[in-house]
A = this chain, B = another copy of it.
Amino acid sequence: MLGAVMDRPLTLPHFLERAGELFGGVPIVSRRPDRSLHRTTYADFYRRSRRLAKALQMLGLERGDRVGTLMWNHAVHLECYFGIPLAGGVVHTLNLRLDPRELAYVVNHAEDRFLIVDDVLLPLLAAIRDRVSPEKVFVATAGGEVPEGCLGYEELLEEQGGGDFDYPDLSEHDAVGMCYTSGTTGRPKGVVYSHRSLVLHSIVECLPDVLGLSQQDTVLPVVPMFHANAWGLPYAATLAGCRQVYPGPHLDAVSLLELMQDERVTFSAGVPTIWMGILEELKAHPDRWKLEPAMRMVVGGSAVPEQMIREFDRFDLNVLHAWGMTELSPLGTLCRLKQDHAGLDPDSRYALRAKQGLPAPLVEIRTVHEEGVAPRDGRTMGELQARGPWVASAYHRPEEETSSWTEDGWFRTGDVATIDQEGYLQITDRTKDLIKSGGEWISSVDLENALMAHPDVAEAAVIAVADPKWQERPLAVVVARPGSRPEADQLRSFLAERFSRWWLPDRFEFVQELPRTSTGKFKKSELREQFSDPRRSRTKS
Protein backbone atom coordinates (compact mmCIF):
# COMPACT_ATOMS: atom_id res chain seq x y z
CA MET A 1 0.00 0.00 0.00
CA LEU A 2 1.43 3.34 -1.03
CA GLY A 3 0.79 6.75 0.46
CA ALA A 4 -1.63 8.92 -1.51
CA VAL A 5 0.26 12.19 -1.51
CA MET A 6 1.29 14.50 -4.29
CA ASP A 7 4.39 13.53 -6.21
CA ARG A 8 6.14 16.89 -5.91
CA PRO A 9 9.88 16.77 -6.64
CA LEU A 10 12.34 18.42 -4.26
CA THR A 11 13.87 20.91 -6.67
CA LEU A 12 15.44 24.33 -6.48
CA PRO A 13 12.78 26.34 -8.36
CA HIS A 14 10.58 26.12 -5.26
CA PHE A 15 13.22 27.99 -3.23
CA LEU A 16 13.43 30.84 -5.73
CA GLU A 17 9.68 31.13 -6.26
CA ARG A 18 9.12 31.13 -2.51
CA ALA A 19 11.78 33.79 -2.00
CA GLY A 20 10.24 35.95 -4.71
CA GLU A 21 6.72 35.61 -3.31
CA LEU A 22 7.42 35.99 0.39
CA PHE A 23 10.66 37.91 0.83
CA GLY A 24 10.79 40.46 -2.01
CA GLY A 25 11.78 43.29 0.30
CA VAL A 26 14.58 41.50 2.15
CA PRO A 27 18.00 43.08 1.48
CA ILE A 28 21.11 41.44 0.05
CA VAL A 29 24.32 43.39 0.66
CA SER A 30 27.67 42.75 -1.03
CA ARG A 31 31.02 44.39 -0.51
CA ARG A 32 32.63 45.25 -3.81
CA PRO A 33 36.35 45.07 -4.53
CA ASP A 34 36.57 48.88 -4.09
CA ARG A 35 35.07 48.37 -0.60
CA SER A 36 31.78 50.11 -1.47
CA LEU A 37 28.57 48.31 -0.54
CA HIS A 38 26.17 47.10 -3.19
CA ARG A 39 22.57 46.78 -1.99
CA THR A 40 19.82 44.84 -3.65
CA THR A 41 16.74 42.85 -2.58
CA TYR A 42 15.29 39.39 -2.99
CA ALA A 43 12.87 40.84 -5.56
CA ASP A 44 15.78 41.84 -7.74
CA PHE A 45 17.67 38.61 -7.05
CA TYR A 46 14.54 36.71 -8.10
CA ARG A 47 14.21 38.66 -11.33
CA ARG A 48 17.89 38.45 -12.23
CA SER A 49 18.26 34.73 -11.41
CA ARG A 50 15.40 33.98 -13.78
CA ARG A 51 16.94 36.24 -16.43
CA LEU A 52 20.22 34.38 -16.10
CA ALA A 53 18.44 31.04 -16.51
CA LYS A 54 16.58 32.35 -19.55
CA ALA A 55 19.75 33.76 -21.08
CA LEU A 56 21.61 30.46 -20.61
CA GLN A 57 18.76 28.64 -22.29
CA MET A 58 18.89 31.13 -25.17
CA LEU A 59 22.62 30.39 -25.52
CA GLY A 60 21.76 26.74 -25.97
CA LEU A 61 22.64 25.43 -22.53
CA GLU A 62 21.66 21.76 -22.46
CA ARG A 63 20.47 19.81 -19.47
CA GLY A 64 23.42 18.89 -17.28
CA ASP A 65 25.89 21.30 -18.90
CA ARG A 66 28.39 22.65 -16.41
CA VAL A 67 28.87 26.38 -15.95
CA GLY A 68 31.94 27.31 -13.93
CA THR A 69 31.98 30.33 -11.63
CA LEU A 70 35.23 32.01 -10.63
CA MET A 71 33.99 34.54 -8.11
CA TRP A 72 34.13 35.90 -4.61
CA ASN A 73 31.13 35.99 -2.29
CA HIS A 74 28.54 38.46 -3.59
CA ALA A 75 25.01 38.85 -4.95
CA VAL A 76 25.95 37.99 -8.54
CA HIS A 77 27.46 34.73 -7.40
CA LEU A 78 24.20 34.07 -5.56
CA GLU A 79 22.32 34.59 -8.83
CA CYS A 80 24.58 32.02 -10.44
CA TYR A 81 23.87 29.58 -7.60
CA PHE A 82 20.22 29.70 -8.67
CA GLY A 83 20.14 30.79 -12.31
CA ILE A 84 22.44 28.07 -13.61
CA PRO A 85 20.55 25.09 -12.10
CA LEU A 86 17.19 26.71 -12.86
CA ALA A 87 18.14 26.58 -16.51
CA GLY A 88 18.86 22.87 -16.13
CA GLY A 89 22.61 23.40 -15.84
CA VAL A 90 25.08 22.52 -13.13
CA VAL A 91 26.78 25.31 -11.19
CA HIS A 92 30.43 24.45 -10.75
CA THR A 93 32.16 26.74 -8.26
CA LEU A 94 35.87 27.11 -8.96
CA ASN A 95 38.31 27.48 -6.09
CA LEU A 96 40.25 30.63 -6.87
CA ARG A 97 42.96 29.65 -4.39
CA LEU A 98 44.06 26.63 -6.41
CA ASP A 99 47.24 27.04 -8.36
CA PRO A 100 46.59 27.64 -12.07
CA ARG A 101 47.59 24.14 -13.07
CA GLU A 102 45.09 22.58 -10.66
CA LEU A 103 42.43 25.11 -11.57
CA ALA A 104 42.79 24.29 -15.27
CA TYR A 105 42.62 20.61 -14.43
CA VAL A 106 39.34 21.12 -12.59
CA VAL A 107 37.75 23.18 -15.40
CA ASN A 108 38.73 20.53 -17.92
CA HIS A 109 37.81 17.58 -15.79
CA ALA A 110 34.34 19.02 -15.17
CA GLU A 111 34.08 20.00 -18.86
CA ASP A 112 32.79 23.46 -18.02
CA ARG A 113 31.01 24.77 -21.09
CA PHE A 114 30.71 28.38 -19.94
CA LEU A 115 32.61 30.36 -17.33
CA ILE A 116 31.39 33.35 -15.33
CA VAL A 117 34.25 35.33 -13.82
CA ASP A 118 34.69 38.37 -11.57
CA ASP A 119 36.58 41.14 -13.33
CA VAL A 120 39.06 41.29 -10.45
CA LEU A 121 39.88 37.64 -11.09
CA LEU A 122 40.72 38.10 -14.76
CA PRO A 123 44.46 37.74 -14.04
CA LEU A 124 43.73 34.27 -12.68
CA LEU A 125 41.67 33.49 -15.77
CA ALA A 126 44.56 34.70 -17.92
CA ALA A 127 46.87 32.28 -16.14
CA ILE A 128 44.77 29.29 -17.21
CA ARG A 129 43.42 30.63 -20.50
CA ASP A 130 45.72 28.62 -22.74
CA ARG A 131 44.99 25.41 -20.87
CA VAL A 132 41.18 25.56 -20.98
CA SER A 133 38.66 26.07 -23.75
CA PRO A 134 35.23 27.11 -22.50
CA GLU A 135 32.77 28.01 -25.22
CA LYS A 136 32.15 31.44 -23.74
CA VAL A 137 33.43 33.47 -20.81
CA PHE A 138 31.20 36.08 -19.15
CA VAL A 139 32.72 38.76 -17.00
CA ALA A 140 30.86 40.34 -14.10
CA THR A 141 32.02 43.91 -13.66
CA ALA A 142 30.88 46.75 -11.45
CA GLY A 143 30.83 49.02 -14.50
CA GLY A 144 34.33 48.31 -15.80
CA GLU A 145 35.24 47.24 -19.32
CA VAL A 146 34.94 43.70 -20.55
CA PRO A 147 38.23 42.47 -22.04
CA GLU A 148 38.55 41.15 -25.55
CA GLY A 149 37.52 37.53 -25.97
CA CYS A 150 35.02 37.76 -23.15
CA LEU A 151 31.38 38.83 -22.93
CA GLY A 152 29.70 41.00 -20.35
CA TYR A 153 27.57 39.29 -17.72
CA GLU A 154 25.26 42.30 -17.48
CA GLU A 155 24.85 42.34 -21.26
CA LEU A 156 24.01 38.64 -21.17
CA LEU A 157 21.17 39.28 -18.72
CA GLU A 158 20.06 42.38 -20.55
CA GLU A 159 20.12 41.05 -24.09
CA GLN A 160 19.26 37.38 -23.67
CA GLY A 161 17.34 37.28 -20.42
CA GLY A 162 14.09 38.98 -21.48
CA GLY A 163 10.73 37.41 -22.24
CA ASP A 164 8.92 34.56 -20.57
CA PHE A 165 10.89 31.97 -18.71
CA ASP A 166 9.65 28.45 -18.04
CA TYR A 167 11.44 26.11 -15.71
CA PRO A 168 12.61 22.91 -17.35
CA ASP A 169 10.90 19.79 -16.07
CA LEU A 170 13.47 18.90 -13.43
CA SER A 171 13.75 15.58 -11.64
CA GLU A 172 14.92 15.76 -8.04
CA HIS A 173 17.78 13.45 -8.98
CA ASP A 174 19.14 15.83 -11.62
CA ALA A 175 22.54 17.35 -10.89
CA VAL A 176 22.34 20.84 -9.44
CA GLY A 177 25.93 21.73 -8.61
CA MET A 178 29.44 20.49 -8.38
CA CYS A 179 32.38 21.12 -6.06
CA TYR A 180 35.89 19.74 -6.15
CA THR A 181 37.59 18.75 -2.94
CA SER A 182 40.80 20.60 -2.25
CA GLY A 183 42.57 17.50 -1.05
CA THR A 184 46.03 17.85 0.41
CA THR A 185 47.06 14.80 -1.58
CA GLY A 186 46.19 13.63 -5.06
CA ARG A 187 44.13 15.39 -7.71
CA PRO A 188 41.02 17.37 -6.73
CA LYS A 189 37.96 15.14 -6.89
CA GLY A 190 34.54 16.26 -8.09
CA VAL A 191 31.37 15.86 -6.01
CA VAL A 192 28.02 16.26 -7.77
CA TYR A 193 24.97 17.27 -5.76
CA SER A 194 21.37 16.67 -6.82
CA HIS A 195 18.35 18.94 -6.43
CA ARG A 196 17.07 16.53 -3.81
CA SER A 197 20.27 16.46 -1.79
CA LEU A 198 20.49 20.24 -1.90
CA VAL A 199 16.87 20.81 -0.85
CA LEU A 200 17.10 18.36 2.05
CA HIS A 201 20.46 19.75 3.14
CA SER A 202 19.17 23.32 3.09
CA ILE A 203 16.04 22.57 5.11
CA VAL A 204 17.93 20.59 7.73
CA GLU A 205 20.60 23.30 8.01
CA CYS A 206 17.90 25.76 9.06
CA LEU A 207 16.69 23.60 11.97
CA PRO A 208 16.94 25.10 15.46
CA ASP A 209 19.46 22.48 16.60
CA VAL A 210 21.52 22.83 13.45
CA LEU A 211 22.20 26.39 12.22
CA GLY A 212 18.83 27.70 13.38
CA LEU A 213 18.25 30.11 10.49
CA SER A 214 15.04 32.14 10.39
CA GLN A 215 13.68 35.24 8.72
CA GLN A 216 14.90 37.13 11.80
CA ASP A 217 18.51 36.44 10.84
CA THR A 218 21.13 38.40 8.99
CA VAL A 219 23.64 35.94 7.60
CA LEU A 220 27.23 36.66 6.61
CA PRO A 221 28.95 33.73 4.90
CA VAL A 222 32.68 34.29 5.37
CA VAL A 223 33.40 30.79 4.11
CA PRO A 224 33.93 31.20 0.37
CA MET A 225 31.15 30.39 -2.06
CA PHE A 226 33.74 28.34 -3.94
CA HIS A 227 34.27 26.12 -0.91
CA ALA A 228 31.52 23.49 -0.49
CA ASN A 229 28.89 26.02 -1.55
CA ALA A 230 29.78 28.29 1.36
CA TRP A 231 28.63 25.37 3.48
CA GLY A 232 25.21 25.59 1.84
CA LEU A 233 24.44 28.94 3.45
CA PRO A 234 23.32 30.82 0.32
CA TYR A 235 20.65 28.18 -0.29
CA ALA A 236 19.61 27.79 3.35
CA ALA A 237 19.48 31.55 3.94
CA THR A 238 17.36 32.05 0.83
CA LEU A 239 14.97 29.35 1.94
CA ALA A 240 14.62 30.96 5.37
CA GLY A 241 14.36 34.49 3.97
CA CYS A 242 17.37 35.78 5.93
CA ARG A 243 19.03 39.07 5.12
CA GLN A 244 22.23 38.15 3.33
CA VAL A 245 25.56 39.95 3.59
CA TYR A 246 28.50 39.00 1.40
CA PRO A 247 32.07 40.19 2.08
CA GLY A 248 33.43 40.08 -1.47
CA PRO A 249 37.22 39.71 -1.44
CA HIS A 250 37.67 41.56 1.88
CA LEU A 251 38.22 38.81 4.41
CA ASP A 252 40.50 40.59 6.88
CA ALA A 253 39.26 40.87 10.46
CA VAL A 254 38.58 44.62 10.40
CA SER A 255 36.56 44.48 7.16
CA LEU A 256 34.49 41.59 8.48
CA LEU A 257 33.89 43.23 11.85
CA GLU A 258 32.79 46.42 10.13
CA LEU A 259 30.25 44.49 8.06
CA MET A 260 29.03 42.54 11.08
CA GLN A 261 28.55 45.70 13.08
CA ASP A 262 27.08 47.95 10.39
CA GLU A 263 24.73 45.34 8.92
CA ARG A 264 23.80 43.92 12.34
CA VAL A 265 24.82 40.39 11.43
CA THR A 266 23.32 37.68 13.66
CA PHE A 267 24.95 34.65 12.05
CA SER A 268 28.29 34.01 10.39
CA ALA A 269 30.41 31.03 9.41
CA GLY A 270 34.03 30.35 8.56
CA VAL A 271 37.19 28.40 9.31
CA PRO A 272 39.07 28.80 12.62
CA THR A 273 41.81 31.01 11.18
CA ILE A 274 39.23 33.68 10.27
CA TRP A 275 37.91 33.63 13.81
CA MET A 276 41.36 33.71 15.35
CA GLY A 277 42.02 36.95 13.50
CA ILE A 278 38.69 38.38 14.62
CA LEU A 279 39.34 37.36 18.20
CA GLU A 280 42.74 39.06 18.16
CA GLU A 281 41.16 42.25 16.86
CA LEU A 282 38.40 42.14 19.49
CA LYS A 283 40.95 41.61 22.24
CA ALA A 284 43.17 44.40 20.93
CA HIS A 285 40.24 46.87 20.72
CA PRO A 286 37.55 45.61 23.07
CA ASP A 287 35.54 48.83 22.96
CA ARG A 288 35.75 49.43 19.27
CA TRP A 289 33.14 46.94 18.07
CA LYS A 290 29.45 46.67 18.86
CA LEU A 291 28.19 43.37 17.51
CA GLU A 292 24.73 41.84 17.89
CA PRO A 293 24.45 40.10 21.26
CA ALA A 294 24.92 36.32 21.06
CA MET A 295 25.83 36.49 17.37
CA ARG A 296 26.29 32.89 16.24
CA MET A 297 29.51 31.90 14.54
CA VAL A 298 29.73 28.49 12.98
CA VAL A 299 33.28 27.26 12.94
CA GLY A 300 34.24 24.29 10.86
CA GLY A 301 36.90 23.06 8.48
CA SER A 302 39.18 22.12 11.36
CA ALA A 303 38.69 21.53 15.05
CA VAL A 304 38.02 24.57 17.22
CA PRO A 305 40.24 24.92 20.27
CA GLU A 306 38.12 25.05 23.43
CA GLN A 307 40.03 28.16 24.41
CA MET A 308 38.59 30.02 21.43
CA ILE A 309 35.02 29.16 22.45
CA ARG A 310 35.69 30.46 25.97
CA GLU A 311 37.27 33.67 24.77
CA PHE A 312 34.43 34.48 22.37
CA ASP A 313 31.93 33.88 25.14
CA ARG A 314 33.51 36.78 26.99
CA PHE A 315 32.43 38.99 24.09
CA ASP A 316 28.92 37.44 24.13
CA LEU A 317 29.65 35.74 20.80
CA ASN A 318 28.43 32.20 20.42
CA VAL A 319 30.76 29.72 18.69
CA LEU A 320 28.98 26.71 17.18
CA HIS A 321 31.31 23.90 16.37
CA ALA A 322 30.54 22.00 13.18
CA TRP A 323 32.01 19.19 11.17
CA GLY A 324 31.49 18.62 7.48
CA MET A 325 33.15 17.76 4.21
CA THR A 326 32.61 18.62 0.56
CA GLU A 327 31.41 15.03 0.18
CA LEU A 328 28.68 15.77 2.75
CA SER A 329 27.26 18.86 1.01
CA PRO A 330 29.00 19.67 3.53
CA LEU A 331 27.06 19.41 6.77
CA GLY A 332 27.69 16.41 9.02
CA THR A 333 27.41 17.40 12.66
CA LEU A 334 26.84 20.44 14.79
CA CYS A 335 27.42 20.91 18.48
CA ARG A 336 24.46 22.01 20.58
CA LEU A 337 24.02 21.11 24.22
CA LYS A 338 21.02 19.12 25.36
CA GLN A 339 18.35 20.34 27.75
CA ASP A 340 19.81 18.52 30.76
CA HIS A 341 23.31 19.88 30.11
CA ALA A 342 22.10 23.14 31.59
CA GLY A 343 22.97 21.60 34.94
CA LEU A 344 26.62 20.89 34.08
CA ASP A 345 29.50 22.95 35.44
CA PRO A 346 31.08 25.41 32.98
CA ASP A 347 34.18 23.28 32.36
CA SER A 348 32.11 20.27 31.35
CA ARG A 349 29.98 22.43 29.11
CA TYR A 350 33.05 23.81 27.37
CA ALA A 351 34.50 20.33 26.99
CA LEU A 352 31.29 19.30 25.25
CA ARG A 353 31.21 22.39 23.05
CA ALA A 354 34.74 21.59 21.89
CA LYS A 355 33.37 18.39 20.36
CA GLN A 356 31.93 18.44 16.85
CA GLY A 357 28.50 17.52 18.17
CA LEU A 358 25.53 15.50 17.04
CA PRO A 359 24.75 14.30 13.52
CA ALA A 360 22.19 16.46 11.75
CA PRO A 361 18.83 14.80 11.09
CA LEU A 362 19.06 12.43 8.11
CA VAL A 363 22.82 11.97 8.62
CA GLU A 364 24.14 8.79 10.20
CA ILE A 365 27.67 8.43 11.52
CA ARG A 366 29.72 5.58 12.93
CA THR A 367 33.35 4.95 13.77
CA VAL A 368 35.04 1.79 12.60
CA HIS A 369 38.25 0.23 13.89
CA GLU A 370 39.99 -3.09 13.39
CA GLU A 371 37.28 -5.00 15.20
CA GLY A 372 34.33 -3.47 13.40
CA VAL A 373 32.04 -0.67 14.53
CA ALA A 374 33.65 1.01 17.54
CA PRO A 375 31.74 1.39 20.80
CA ARG A 376 30.20 4.76 21.61
CA ASP A 377 32.25 5.33 24.74
CA GLY A 378 33.91 8.65 23.96
CA ARG A 379 37.32 6.95 24.08
CA THR A 380 37.68 4.33 21.38
CA MET A 381 38.97 5.87 18.17
CA GLY A 382 37.93 4.68 14.77
CA GLU A 383 37.63 5.87 11.22
CA LEU A 384 34.58 8.11 10.91
CA GLN A 385 32.06 6.94 8.30
CA ALA A 386 28.88 8.70 7.20
CA ARG A 387 25.69 7.93 5.34
CA GLY A 388 22.71 10.03 4.32
CA PRO A 389 20.72 11.52 1.47
CA TRP A 390 23.24 14.33 0.86
CA VAL A 391 26.40 12.22 1.18
CA ALA A 392 28.28 11.62 -2.09
CA SER A 393 28.02 8.12 -3.49
CA ALA A 394 30.89 8.49 -5.97
CA TYR A 395 33.34 11.01 -7.35
CA HIS A 396 32.78 12.47 -10.79
CA ARG A 397 34.74 10.57 -13.44
CA PRO A 398 37.30 9.22 -10.99
CA GLU A 399 40.82 8.84 -12.36
CA GLU A 400 41.78 6.19 -9.88
CA GLU A 401 40.03 3.51 -7.87
CA THR A 402 39.06 5.00 -4.59
CA SER A 403 38.53 3.18 -1.35
CA SER A 404 36.32 6.00 -0.10
CA TRP A 405 33.18 3.89 0.20
CA THR A 406 32.71 0.76 2.27
CA GLU A 407 31.13 -2.34 0.87
CA ASP A 408 27.98 -1.68 2.88
CA GLY A 409 27.64 1.79 1.42
CA TRP A 410 29.12 4.20 3.96
CA PHE A 411 31.44 7.06 3.01
CA ARG A 412 34.89 6.80 4.57
CA THR A 413 35.70 10.31 5.70
CA GLY A 414 39.39 9.84 6.36
CA ASP A 415 38.86 11.37 9.80
CA VAL A 416 39.56 9.51 13.00
CA ALA A 417 37.06 10.16 15.74
CA THR A 418 35.34 9.07 18.91
CA ILE A 419 31.60 9.12 19.58
CA ASP A 420 30.42 9.31 23.18
CA GLN A 421 27.44 7.68 24.85
CA GLU A 422 25.27 10.68 24.20
CA GLY A 423 26.17 10.66 20.52
CA TYR A 424 28.64 13.56 20.45
CA LEU A 425 31.32 13.22 17.81
CA GLN A 426 34.89 14.30 18.41
CA ILE A 427 37.37 14.31 15.59
CA THR A 428 40.71 13.21 16.90
CA ASP A 429 42.63 13.34 13.67
CA ARG A 430 42.80 12.85 9.97
CA THR A 431 43.64 9.22 9.24
CA LYS A 432 46.87 10.33 7.63
CA ASP A 433 47.82 12.69 10.51
CA LEU A 434 47.23 10.22 13.30
CA ILE A 435 50.39 9.27 15.12
CA LYS A 436 50.96 5.57 15.74
CA SER A 437 53.36 5.19 18.60
CA GLY A 438 54.19 1.75 19.97
CA GLY A 439 50.99 0.32 18.55
CA GLU A 440 48.82 3.00 20.18
CA TRP A 441 47.22 6.01 18.57
CA ILE A 442 48.02 9.58 19.53
CA SER A 443 45.73 12.36 18.37
CA SER A 444 47.60 15.29 16.83
CA VAL A 445 44.45 17.43 17.09
CA ASP A 446 44.14 16.92 20.85
CA LEU A 447 47.75 17.95 21.35
CA GLU A 448 47.34 20.98 19.08
CA ASN A 449 44.22 22.19 20.89
CA ALA A 450 45.90 21.77 24.25
CA LEU A 451 48.99 23.65 23.10
CA MET A 452 46.87 26.49 21.70
CA ALA A 453 45.38 26.98 25.16
CA HIS A 454 48.87 27.94 26.46
CA PRO A 455 49.11 31.72 26.86
CA ASP A 456 52.37 31.96 24.92
CA VAL A 457 51.23 29.91 21.93
CA ALA A 458 49.46 31.49 18.96
CA GLU A 459 49.21 28.35 16.82
CA ALA A 460 50.48 24.82 16.91
CA ALA A 461 50.54 21.85 14.57
CA VAL A 462 51.59 18.38 15.60
CA ILE A 463 52.93 15.85 13.11
CA ALA A 464 54.33 12.36 13.21
CA VAL A 465 58.00 11.73 12.62
CA ALA A 466 59.47 8.31 12.08
CA ASP A 467 61.02 6.65 15.06
CA PRO A 468 63.09 3.47 14.96
CA LYS A 469 61.80 2.21 18.28
CA TRP A 470 58.19 3.45 18.47
CA GLN A 471 57.49 3.56 14.73
CA GLU A 472 56.23 7.17 15.04
CA ARG A 473 56.52 9.96 17.57
CA PRO A 474 54.82 13.37 17.78
CA LEU A 475 56.64 16.58 16.89
CA ALA A 476 55.08 19.96 17.67
CA VAL A 477 55.52 22.96 15.40
CA VAL A 478 54.69 26.11 17.34
CA VAL A 479 54.09 29.77 16.48
CA ALA A 480 54.66 31.89 19.59
CA ARG A 481 52.44 34.83 20.45
CA PRO A 482 54.02 38.21 19.64
CA GLY A 483 56.35 39.10 22.48
CA SER A 484 56.55 35.63 24.04
CA ARG A 485 59.26 33.04 23.78
CA PRO A 486 57.90 29.77 25.11
CA GLU A 487 60.38 26.96 25.66
CA ALA A 488 59.99 23.31 24.84
CA ASP A 489 60.23 22.17 28.45
CA GLN A 490 57.54 24.62 29.56
CA LEU A 491 55.19 23.39 26.90
CA ARG A 492 55.95 19.77 27.65
CA SER A 493 55.13 20.28 31.34
CA PHE A 494 51.99 22.12 30.37
CA LEU A 495 50.85 19.16 28.27
CA ALA A 496 51.87 16.69 30.97
CA GLU A 497 49.03 18.01 33.13
CA ARG A 498 46.58 16.56 30.66
CA PHE A 499 48.15 13.71 28.73
CA SER A 500 50.02 10.51 29.49
CA ARG A 501 53.78 10.72 29.27
CA TRP A 502 53.99 8.75 26.04
CA TRP A 503 51.71 11.27 24.27
CA LEU A 504 54.09 14.20 24.89
CA PRO A 505 55.97 15.44 21.80
CA ASP A 506 59.65 14.61 21.83
CA ARG A 507 60.51 17.67 19.75
CA PHE A 508 59.20 21.23 19.60
CA GLU A 509 60.05 23.41 16.61
CA PHE A 510 59.35 27.15 16.67
CA VAL A 511 58.42 28.87 13.42
CA GLN A 512 57.12 32.27 12.31
CA GLU A 513 54.00 30.89 10.64
CA LEU A 514 52.39 27.63 9.66
CA PRO A 515 51.81 26.70 6.02
CA ARG A 516 48.12 26.46 5.11
CA THR A 517 45.97 24.85 2.44
CA SER A 518 43.72 26.96 0.20
CA THR A 519 40.92 26.51 2.73
CA GLY A 520 42.96 27.63 5.72
CA LYS A 521 43.84 24.27 7.23
CA PHE A 522 47.38 23.52 8.42
CA LYS A 523 49.27 21.98 5.53
CA LYS A 524 50.82 19.14 7.42
CA SER A 525 52.30 17.52 4.34
CA GLU A 526 54.59 20.51 4.00
CA LEU A 527 55.54 20.39 7.67
CA ARG A 528 56.35 16.73 7.37
CA GLU A 529 58.53 17.49 4.37
CA GLN A 530 60.25 20.33 6.18
CA PHE A 531 60.93 18.28 9.28
CA SER A 532 62.17 15.28 7.31
CA ASP A 533 59.32 12.94 7.66
CA PRO A 534 59.89 9.92 5.43
CA ARG A 535 56.11 9.56 5.10
CA ARG A 536 55.83 12.59 2.89
CA SER A 537 54.60 10.55 -0.02
CA ARG A 538 52.01 8.74 2.07
CA THR A 539 48.62 9.11 0.50
CA LYS A 540 45.19 9.56 1.92
CA SER A 541 43.92 6.27 3.20
Interface residues, chain A, with chain B CB atoms under 8 Å away: 1-8, 10, 14, 17-18, 21-23, 25-26, 63-64, 90, 173-176, 191-197, 200, 203-204, 206-209, 212-218, 239-241, 243, 329, 336, 338-340, 358-359, 361-362, 364, 376, 387-396, 409, 411, 422-423
Contacts and interface: CB of A to CB of B under 8 A. Distances in A.
B422 A22 contact: yes
8 contacts: A3-B173, A5-B391, A8-B362, A8-B387, A203-B362, A208-B213, A208-B240, A209-B240
A359 B15 CA distance: 12
Q: Which 10 A-B pairs have the closest CB atoms?
A: A3-B194, A1-B64, A208-B214, A22-B423, A5-B197, A8-B389, A1-B175, A4-B192, A4-B394, A6-B393
Contact of A339 (B174, B215, B339, B394): B215
A208 B212 contact: yes
Nearest to A176: B3
Contacts of A217: 339
Contacts of A422: 22, 25
A25 B506 CA distance: 43
Contacts of A215: 209, 336, 338-339
Given A6-B388, A25-B340, 5 more contacts: A3-B193, A6-B389, A7-B389, A207-B207, A218-B339
Contact of A207 (B1, B206, B388): B206
A330 to B, nearest CB: 12
Given A175-B3, A208-B240, A18 B389 contact: no
Nearest to A419: B21
B5 A389 contact: yes
A14 B361 CA distance: 9
Contacts of A364: 14, 17
Contacts of A14: 361-362, 364
B174 A4 contact: no
Nearest to A424: B22
A338 B14 CA distance: 20
Name which of A3, A329, A411 has the most chain B CB atoms within 10 A of its CB.
Answer: A3
Name which of A213, A216, A395, A409 has the most chain B CB atoms within 10 A of its CB.
Answer: A216
B209 A214 contact: yes
A41 to B, nearest CB: 11
A54 B4 CA distance: 26
Given A8-B388, A423-B21, A2 B361 contact: no
Given A203-B203, A206-B208, A390 B192 contact: no
A338 B241 contact: yes
Contacts of A204: 203
B208 A2 contact: no
Contacts of A389: 5-8, 10
Nearest to A327: B5
Name which of A17, A25, A204, A208 has the most chain B CB atoms within 10 A of its CB.
Answer: A208
A3 B409 CA distance: 16
Contacts of A25: 340, 422
Nearest to A395: B4
Contacts of A393: 4-7
B10 A361 contact: no
Contacts of A376: 21
A393 B4 CA distance: 5
B90 A1 contact: yes
Contact of A409 (B6, B64, B200): B6
Contact of A392 (B5, B239, B339): B5
Given A215-B338, A336-B215, A358-B22, A1 B192 contact: yes
A345 B191 CA distance: 49
A5 B17 CA distance: 25
Given A22-B422, A25-B340, A174 B3 contact: yes
Contacts of A240: 207-209
Contact of A239 (B2, B21, B197, B361): B361
Contact of A194 (B5, B175, B209): B5
Contact of A192 (B3, B10, B64): B3
Contacts of A338: 23, 26, 215, 241
A203 B192 contact: no
A359 B14 CA distance: 12
A223 B362 CA distance: 27
A192 B1 CA distance: 9
A241 B359 CA distance: 13
